[in-house]
Amino acid sequence: MIDGLKERISSAVHNQPQPTVTILSSLLAVEDELGYIPKEAIEQVSDLMSATVNDVWAVASFYPNFRFVPPCDHQIEVCWGPSCHIKGAMGLIEAVLDAVDMADEGDTPDGKVTVRYNTCLGACAQAPVISIDHNLIGGLSPKDAKARAVETMETERAHDTDGS
Amino acid sequence: MTIPTVNTNFSEISKNATDHWKDITSGTRAWIRIGTALCGKAAGGDAILASVQESLNTRGIDALVSEVGCLGLCFAEPLLDIQMPGGSRVFYGNVRSEDVDSILNSHLVSGIPVTEKALGYLGEVAVDGIPNLDDHPMRVMTERIALRNAGVIDPYDINQYIANGGYQGLNKVLTEMTPQEVLDEVTGSGLRGRGGAAFSTGTKWGFLAGSGAPVKYILCNCEEGDPGAFNDKGILESDPSTVVEGILIAAYATGASNGYIFIRHGHDGPIDRARAAVSDAYRLGLLGDNILGTDFSFNLEIALTGDSYVSGEETALMEAIEGSRAMPRYRPPFPAQVGVFGKPTNINNVKTMAYVPEIVSKGGEWFSGIGHDRSTGTAILCLSGNLKYTGMVEVPMGLTLRQVIYDIAGGIPNDKSLKFVQTGGPLGGVLGADNIDLVLDFEVFREAGAILGSGGIIAADEDVCIVDLTRALIAFCQYESCGKCFPCRMGMSHLLEVLERICKLESEPGDLDLMRNIGGNMQAGSLCGHGQLGFNPVSSAIKYFGEEFDAHMVSHECGTGTCLRPKYSPNLTRR
């Protein structure tokens, strides 16, 4: 367990910047802080919101941006929206998966990289777009995407699990 | 928000802002602007920003460096824009980090713009050897109303917004107009919702105005999950204050007390810039209690959703603001009676709100004089796919798709021909190339079976397989179905299964009829547009490209070879 996990969760849910605090906003705050939603967070959010664990889990399980195990060191997202699809997203996905030696999206077994297909990264004019550790990169060829993925694999943890 | 509200006279706010703008544009320093909206970032804008700062530090040059939003010329990002004091703006397109230092040296130190690397200039003073950027195809036909400040002002500086006419609309309605007069002005402008449904904005506001409840909400929707559309995020990243002002005017007209701007978690650019615009408005007394010293009070905050396309549907959005699963509600009751937190609510798209300040400043008649028939004003289009120039343009309604694709976006690159366009998000379906003489008009598009919707226009050349793209669109719709209505939840999965079979060239007789049957059930049995319109991608593709479906299904051939290559789609669905 991460040191001070309960304190970090507590601090995240009690220091939300906006006046309206809900189950969803609290879960998003935890996600920003830790990069995932641990069991302890479900419990704390249910206490905070006077909701049942079931109520909180219902929300957490609905939105696919939430994950329930600690994040990998790096995250590579490949956009597969139609603009990117037309500009070769499938080839990029293939190249990135090849680089990390996976058959489909998910976490590498060594916890190095998460690969996710994103429905739209919002930079359609630069298609095809990928995002490495939340930095957008447009217009890559499959070969360049593969090189970036390999480079990412070889880099030490780029960011702590602070959601930055 | 706990920031204390200061009541200040608007003329004082305005004067401070104007002085600030004069200081920026005609002071002693050069002004360097770099586009760091999503498109700019994806093209490497952050690296250019770092190179600029490094070069200025090394050379000891004092210049103002600002991050700006999206000028719309996304194909030319990263864009470096240099304005010498009192001079015109010179734009360098597709700038590389290694060129930054030499450009700055020549332009700032020697005073000589690097003509061969410049895309164009904007301003009163012509620059030798550099074309006027307004003569570029992507700018010639534009009419920038909602995008008037995009790529021009620093979105983090509310004073730049005010200096360029910002908050004059709010000041006008608070000092000169009754709420009913504002409603009449907006109704008279013919403004219709730009989120997709194209409903009269003034009429919609009238529903909320008719409720005497003490707490009423105005929601502004920037969920924008439509792949291929980035104009809502683009506006919030480029000019968030115009959206805040539009919301305030809507609140005054309808008597609303509270509001939310709703954005998807993770889109940090729009979120951070919207938050800054809101807190700055509080600081200047433009939000909060007794705005500008009047009786009008309004509170606004930013609400975030998790990943969910359907949370852009108005009642699902309310569920998400309340912190629940984003699933649509039954109607009636309609939001104007029972909306978010059980209170009367009005919801508008970002683009719709962004027009409002200009409409009240210049008058509804001015706005209704632009456009085509009942589709007044402009269309804010996101151009992507196989086009020479990609980006975001604002053009008058009434242009043809042909003008948009060939005259503005420069046509299809690499000597290819246009095969189809996909408009209005995944649910909008496709339009065959024969249909590109359609004019930009909500009714004309609807009659052709397409949706102008949120303004996404994705062009595909002859190398794109329609069956494969249809499969990709349905894979999106299946993944994004919220699961509430089983005809949509199961129908989408079933459609995807059939389309995957067709893509594998293993279809069975009757598959087209099977899909039509599923589509009919989805349309009849779903609460929201996701299921009701979810068959559009398939029906429109079959309508325009029946022969290509036949080739896959009967002769078991994929003409482009696309279907034979590996395909990936998310293995997660909503649990």
Residue B27's CATH number: 3.40.30.10
In contact, A64 and A95? CB cutoff 8 Å: no
Residue A142 has pLDDT above 90, yes or no: yes
Q: Which residues of A touch B74 (CB under 8 A)?
A: 123, 125-126
Nearest-angstrom CA–CA distance, A120 and A82:
9
Both B489 and B559 in one domain: the answer is yes
Both B200 and B336 in one domain: the answer is yes
CATH of the domain at B211: 3.40.50.11540
**Predicted pLDDT at B572:** 59
Nearest-angstrom CA–CA distance, B156 and B240:
8
Q: Which residues of A touch B225 (CB under 8 A)?
A: 119-120
Best mutation target, A16, A24, A117, to test chain B (most B CBs within 10 A):
A24
Contact A124 B229 (CB under 8 A): yes
Give me the DSSP letters along B289-333.
Answer: SSGGGSS--BEEEEEEE-S-GGGGSHHHHHHHHTTS---PPPSSS
Q: Which residues of B touch A84 (CB under 8 A)?
A: 227
Contact B321 A90 (CB under 8 A): no
Options 3.40.30.10, 3.40.50.720, 3.20.20.210, 3.10.110.10; CATH of A74-154: 3.40.30.10
Among A66, A90, A122, the residue with its CB nearest the CB of B566 is A90
**Predicted pLDDT at B574:** 63
Distances (CA, A) of B315 to A26, A64, B200, B328: 21, 20, 18, 5
Q: Which residues of A touch B302 (CB under 8 A)?
A: 18
Residues with Cβ < 8 Å from A162, sequence gap 6 or more? Answer: A33, A35
Q: Would you state the torsion angle of the CA atoms of residues B438, B440, B442, B447, taken in this order, to the nearest 10 degrees?
A: 0
User: In angstroms, what separates the C-alpha of A21 from chain B's closest C-alpha?
Assistant: 8
Nearest-angstrom CA–CA distance, B454 and B424:
5
Beta strand pairing status for B456-461 and B217-222?
unpaired
Both B388 and B449 in one domain: the answer is yes
Q: Which residues of B touch A125 (CB under 8 A)?
A: 39, 74-75, 77, 230, 382-384, 390-392
User: In angstroms, what separates the C-alpha of B198 from chain A's closest C-alpha?
Assistant: 23
Contact B77 A126 (CB under 8 A): yes
Is residue B52 domain-resident?
yes
Phi-psi region of A77 (alpha: psi -120 to 50; beta: other; left: phi over 0): beta
Among A65, A82, A138, the residue with its CB nearest the CB of B227 is A82
Q: Which residues of B touch A127 (CB under 8 A)?
A: 384-385, 390
Contact B384 A20 (CB under 8 A): no
User: In angstroms, what separates the C-alpha of B529 from chain A's closest C-alpha?
Assistant: 18
Q: How many CA atoms lie within 13 A of A28 on its CB side?
A: 25
Q: Which domain-ending residue is among B135, B155, B189?
A: B135
Nearest-angstrom CA–CA distance, B333 and A108:
48
**Predicted pLDDT at A158:** 56
Best mutation target, B267, B388, B458, to test chain A (most A CBs within 10 A):
B458
Both B516 and B412 in one domain: the answer is no
Nearest-angstrom CA–CA distance, B76 and A119:
24
Please give the residue of chain A at the shortest CA–CA distance from B385: A83
Both B473 and B414 in one domain: the answer is no
Both B274 and B305 in one domain: the answer is yes
Nearest-angstrom CA–CA distance, B19 and B297:
28
Contact A126 B260 (CB under 8 A): no
In contact, B574 and B485? CB cutoff 8 Å: no
Please give the residue of chain A at the shortest CA–CA distance from B308: A63
Is residue B571 domain-resident?
no
Best mutation target, B384, B427, B474, to test chain A (most A CBs within 10 A):
B384
Among A82, A90, A137, the residue with its CB nearest the CB of B42 is A137
Q: Which domain-ending residue is among B461, B492, B527?
A: B461
User: In angstroms, what separates the C-alpha of B225 from chain A's closest C-alpha?
Assistant: 7
Nearest-angstrom CA–CA distance, B82 and B121:
9
Q: Kindly state the DSSP code that residue B5 receives in the 8-state scheme.
A: P
Q: Which residues of B touch A64 (CB under 8 A)?
A: 306-307, 570, 572, 574
* Joined tokens for residue A59: 């929300």
Please give the residue of chain B at the shortest CA–CA distance from A93: B568
Best mutation target, A119, A132, A135, A137, to test chain B (most B CBs within 10 A):
A119
Both B344 and B303 in one domain: the answer is yes
Is residue B379 domain-resident?
yes
Nearest-angstrom CA–CA distance, B466 and B282:
50
Please give the residue of chain A at the shortest CA–CA distance from B383: A125
What average pLDDT does range A96-120 have in this prediction? Answer: 95
Q: Kindly state the DSSP code that residue B229 receives in the 8-state scheme.
A: -
Residues with Cβ < 8 Å from A89, sequence gap 6 or more? Answer: A78, A79, A80, A81, A127, A128
In contact, A44 and A10? CB cutoff 8 Å: yes
Both B298 and B425 in one domain: the answer is no
Nearest-angstrom CA–CA distance, B267 and B223:
10
User: In angstroms, what separates the C-alpha of B13 from chain A's closest C-alpha?
Assistant: 26
Which residues of chain B fall short of a pLDDT of 70? 1-8, 571-575
> Taking Cα atoms as reference points, which of B109, B108, B136 lies closest to residue B122?
B136
Is residue B193 domain-resident?
yes
When divided into structural domains, chain B yields a total of: 4
Domain that holds residue B545: 466-564
> Taking Cα atoms as reference points, which of B503, B435, B439 lies closest to residue B469?
B503
Nearest-angstrom CA–CA distance, B202 and B206:
6
Both B336 and B205 in one domain: the answer is yes
A151 by Cβ neighbours in 10 Å (0-12 / 13-18 / 19+) ranks as exposed
Look at the alpha carbons of B467, B473, B479, B484 in this order and tell me if their dihedral is positive or negative: negative
Contact A119 B390 (CB under 8 A): no
> Taking Cα atoms as reference points, which of B473, B467, B475, B432 lies closest to residue B554?
B467
Contact B42 A20 (CB under 8 A): no
**Residues counted in chain B:** 575
Is residue B165 domain-resident?
no
Give me the DSSP letters along chain A.
Answer: --TTHHHHHHHHHH--SSS---HHHHHHHHHHHHSS--HHHHHHHHHHTT--HHHHHHHHTT-TT--SSPPPSEEEEEE-SHHHHHTTHHHHHHHHHHHHT-SSSEE-TTSSEEEEEES--S-GGG-SEEEETTEEEES--HHHHHHHHHHHHHS---S-SS--
Count of CB pairs separated by less than 8 Å, A with B = 185
Nearest-angstrom CA–CA distance, B353 and B260:
13
Is residue B364 domain-resident?
yes
Both B488 and B403 in one domain: the answer is no
Among B233, B323, B570, the residue with its CB nearest the CB of A25 is B323
Q: Which residues of B touch A42 (CB under 8 A)?
A: none
Q: Which residues of A touch B42 (CB under 8 A)?
A: 121, 123, 126, 129, 136-139
**Predicted pLDDT at A23:** 98
Best mutation target, A25, A62, A79, A121, to test chain B (most B CBs within 10 A):
A62
Please give the residue of chain A at the shortest CA–CA distance from B429: A82
The predicted model scores a pTM of: 0.96
User: In angstroms, what separates the C-alpha of B263 from chain A's closest C-alpha?
Assistant: 12
Indicate the domain borders of chain A: 5-60, 74-154
Beta strand pairing status for A129-132 and A135-138?
antiparallel
Residues linked to residue B372 through DSSP beta bridges, in sequence order? B375
Q: Which residues of A touch B569 (CB under 8 A)?
A: 80, 117
**Is the peptide bond prior to A82 cis by the omega test (within 30 degrees of 0)?**
no
Nearest-angstrom CA–CA distance, A100 and A150:
7
In contact, B481 and B492? CB cutoff 8 Å: yes
Both B542 and B407 in one domain: the answer is no
Nearest-angstrom CA–CA distance, A32 and A67:
11
User: In angstroms, what separates the C-alpha of A1 from chain B's closest C-alpha?
Assistant: 25
Both B241 and B326 in one domain: the answer is yes
CATH of the domain at B395: 3.10.20.600
